[in-house]
Structure 1
Amino acid sequence: MWNSALRAKYFGRGKPFGRTEWDQLLGHCGAVTDVPAACFWRDLVAAYPEAKAVLVVREEEEAWLRSCCALLDGALDPFGLYVLRFTDPFWFGRIITCASLYIEGLFGSTNAVVAKANARAAYRKHNAEIRATVSKERLLEYKLGSEWEPLCAFLGKEVPGVLFPNLNDSEMLRLSFLYAVAKTIRHSLVNLAVVVGAGAVVGGLVWRVGIEAVTSAKEQALLGGTSVVSSCIRATCGYQGITRCVGH
């Protein structure tokens, strides 16, 4: 459904999602974060007027830009876009298709150089539009590294007695990317083995049928001459050219 929502929003293909569609997609969720959900902040704020919004910002814009550009380089790598998405269509292919849609929607291109050049302006526009649209009562501008207190105060929750999670740093992203690549290559090798194996089986069956046909034809020829060979090959292969070759 994410792909359908992205195509409708950014490319005018299909019906834009309303409350019914969002309930179908996100009805089991209490909160959403990151892409592709962040692409639909305006839609979700309108569909769920009771919901609150949290805009996460960094102390330094450059830190976000470095992180974003690293992700764009990985997501838009040509080997992934044009090879792995087809050798692993049911896992990586689905992920990269969704990523390509929201990257083009947010940054205007699936070319890594162009997308990175547009990233800073897209970041500033995204944040400015949220600040201008969402009421102050519904919006928390959360500075990364502020721990639990401002978030819990905004949501009316008690501060939990555990450390604030830090699972999206550069090292975690690097390891996650390596894991995804390894998993994709493993899937690709299995898929290619299945295709090659299936081709070998089909080829073996065709070869066996051909050998049996020729053997049968030779046996018949010993009894009835080359005209019988021609009849047997014609009946087996349905190809007149073969008949003439064998007849000689």
Structure 2
Amino acid sequence: MSLEIIGSGFGRTGTASLKLALEQLGFGPCHHMEEVLAHPGQVAHWQAVAAGQPVTWDDVFAGYRAQVDWPGAHVWRELSLAYPAAKIIHTQRPEDDWWNSFSATIGGLLNTYREISLPPHAAAMMAAAGRMIGEQTFGAAFTNRDAALAAYRRRLDQVRAAIAPARLLVFNVAEGWEPLCRFLGVPVPATPFPRVNSTAQWLEQFAAKSH
């Protein structure tokens, strides 16, 4: 099995909802940070990625048909080259909405996780995330709104510059099923598009998945 869908969007852009949507459409299992926290054996792969060491992507994503959210979104470019037939979905939301959600969840946790009692695998993953997200993506300025938003915009520009338009969907999950299903060439389900992982849900899920 190889990846058929690669998510390049930052966390807190509807990636949890997109994960459920893709799985409902038959593109599952879908990799997401919650998968790493629920499967401690995955952490070593991401420690290697954070350290700039080579990994075998088929091993990292063994058993998965799709990937969204960090940590996989951190290596979207490498994955797009490793899986040239895969389609790229870049999740976006209004900038202020993203910043408010990110700063209250992932950004806050990156700043405080060392002070929290976490199980070893969750603490190790947070350290790796600190390198990949906090340092390599945001230049250690993830608590600075302007700097974080500049990185947020820069990622979209990079994806658009690297990926052929026919292979790329820039997607706001608020748009629902239609653009996603049209891009993937699948029928639109009769059920509502998944809506999950509010800020409160994120904090609750992190506590549950990391223990």
The structural deviation recorded for 1:112 is: 5.7
Runs of 5+ in structure 1 lacking a partner?
A: 9-13, 184-248
Structure with a larger share of its residues in helix: 1
- The answer as to 2:114 corresponding to 1:81 is yes
Aligned length: 165
Q: In 2 relative to 1, CA 27–96 (structure 1 residues): closer, same or farther, beyond 3 Å?
A: same
Which residue of the other structure, out of 148, 154, 158, is the alignment partner of 2:183?
Answer: 154
Report what 2:96 is aligned to. 62
- The answer as to 2:205 corresponding to 1:176 is yes
Q: Please say if residues 56 and 142 of structure 1, whose CA atoms lie closer than 8 Å, have aligned partners that are also in contact.
A: yes
Structure 2: which amino acid aligns with 1:54? I
- The answer as to 2:75 corresponding to 1:40 is yes
The structural deviation recorded for 1:2 is: 1.4
Structure 2: which amino acid aligns with 1:29? Y
Report what 2:49 is aligned to. 5
Report what 1:132 is aligned to. 161
Q: Please say if residues 46 and 125 of structure 2, whose CA atoms lie closer than 8 Å, have aligned partners that are also in contact.
A: no
Q: Please say if residues 177 and 193 of structure 2, whose CA atoms lie closer than 8 Å, have aligned partners that are also in contact.
A: yes
Kindly indicate whether structure 1 or structure 2 has the higher relative contact order, using CA contacts under 8 Å at least 6 residues apart.
2
The TM-score with structure 2 as length reference comes to: 0.70
Runs of 5+ in structure 2 lacking a partner?
A: 1-44
Q: Please say if residues 107 and 122 of structure 1, whose CA atoms lie closer than 8 Å, have aligned partners that are also in contact.
A: yes
Structure 2 matches for 1:19-38, cutoff 5 A? 21-38=56-73
- Structure 2: distance between partners of 1:83 and 1:171: 18
Give me the identity figure in percent: 30
- Structure 2: distance between partners of 1:27 and 1:54: 20
The structural deviation recorded for 1:124 is: 0.6
Report what 1:234 is aligned to. none
Q: In 2 relative to 1, CA 180–47 (structure 1 residues): closer, same or farther, beyond 3 Å?
A: closer
Which residue of the other structure, out of 129, 141, 152, is the alignment partner of 1:123?
Answer: 152
- Structure 1: distance between partners of 2:147 and 2:103: 10
- The answer as to 2:138 corresponding to 1:107 is yes
Deviations 1:87-117 (A, max 9, x none): x32x3323322321222221112x7635x55
- Aligned-residue Cα RMSD (Å) equals 2.1
Runs of 4+ in 1 over 6 A off after TM superposition: none
Report what 1:98 is aligned to. 128
The structural deviation recorded for 1:180 is: 5.9
